[in-house]
Amino acid sequence: MALSMMVERLWTLPDGTVCLLVQRADAPSFEICVVRGEEVLRQGRLYARGSALMLAETWRSTRTSLHAKRAAEAAVARVAATTDSHVR
């Protein structure tokens, strides 16, 4: 029996996080995987391509929001560290 899969990259974030859509021969046919390097961050299998695409977009939005929040927190911490060093 031959294994049949198609893989499509849906999106990539600046930190190297990638979302892949894998279409398999067996049901549920559509698998989405969010990976960074060797680490699988999220994974799910669905029966409909449209549902898989919507879930992947939700995961992209969530990861983008987390990335923006962490960047803002890091910027505030840098400003606070600079201010503290000038006060002393």
Interval 1-24: pLDDT, tens: 557 789 999 999 999 999 999 999
71: Cβ–Cβ under 8 A, 6 or more apart, which residues? none
Angstrom distances, CA of residue 5 to CA of 30, 53, 74: 10, 17, 41
- Give the pLDDT of residue 71: 81
Quick check: pTM over 0.85?
A: no
**80: confidence class by pLDDT, cuts 50, 70, 90:** confident
